[in-house]
Amino acid sequence: MSETQIEWSEEVAREHKGLSVRDFLDAMVGPIDRRAVITAARSGALLLNGERVGPSQTLRPGDLVQLTIPTEDLGRQASDAVRLLHLADELVVGTKPSGLPFDESRRGGDSALGRLGEQVSEQLGHVVRLRAAHRLDKETSGLVVASVGREAELALSAAFEQGRAHMEYLALIRGKPDMDEGVIDVPLSKRRKADTRLLPDPDHGTPSKTSWSTEEALRGFTLLRLTPAAGRSHQVRAHLAALGLPVVCDALYRDDDRLLMSELKFDYRGKRGRPERPLLARPALHAARFCFGELDFSLPLPEELEVVLRQLRRLRPLR
Q: Is the pLDDT of residue 153 over 70?
A: yes
Q: Is the pLDDT of residue 288 over 90?
A: yes
Task: State which fold the 164-319 domain adopts.
Answer: Pseudouridine synthase (3.30.2350)
pLDDT at 193: 76
Closest C-alpha among 309, 312, 304, 311 to residue 141? 304
Same CATH fold, 164-319 and 8-74?
no
Which pairing describes strands 209-218 and 181-185: parallel, antiparallel, or unpaired?
antiparallel
- Tell me what the mean pLDDT of segment 168-194 comes to: 92
pLDDT at 80: 56
**pLDDT digits over 211-270, tens only?**
999 999 999 999 999 999 976 789 999 999 999 999 999 999 988 889 998 888 878 777
3-class DSSP state for residue 85? Answer: strand
**pLDDT digits over 29-63, tens only?**
867 777 788 889 999 999 999 999 998 899 999 99
When pLDDT is cut at 50, 70 and 90, the band that residue 192 belongs to is confident
Q: Kindly list the domain boundaries of the chain, sorted by start residue.
A: 8-74, 78-162, 164-319
Q: Is the pLDDT of residue 11 over 80?
A: yes
pTM of the model: 0.76
- Tell me what the mean pLDDT of segment 141-158 comes to: 94
Q: Is the pLDDT of residue 1 over 60?
A: no
Query: Would you call 78 exposed, middle or buried from its count of C-beta atoms within 10 A (0-12, 13-18, 19+)?
Result: exposed
* 103 part of the active site: no
CATH 3.30.2350.10 fits 78-162, yes or no: yes
**pLDDT digits over 87-97, tens only?**
998 999 999 99
Which pairing describes strands 285-292 and 141-147: parallel, antiparallel, or unpaired?
parallel
Core vs surface per residue 155-190: b (16+ CB within 10 A) or e: ebbebbeeeebbbbbbbbbbebbeeeeeebebbbbb
Helix, strand counts (H, E) of the chain: 7, 16
**Average pLDDT for the chain:** 89
pLDDT at 29: 80
Annotated catalytic residue: which of 63, 137, 250, 255?
A: 137
Lowest mean pLDDT among 112-116, 183-187, 232-236: 232-236
- Tell me what the mean pLDDT of segment 139-157 comes to: 94
What CATH number matches the domain at 8-74, 3.10.290.10, 3.10.20.600, 3.40.50.2000, 2.30.42.10?
A: 3.10.290.10
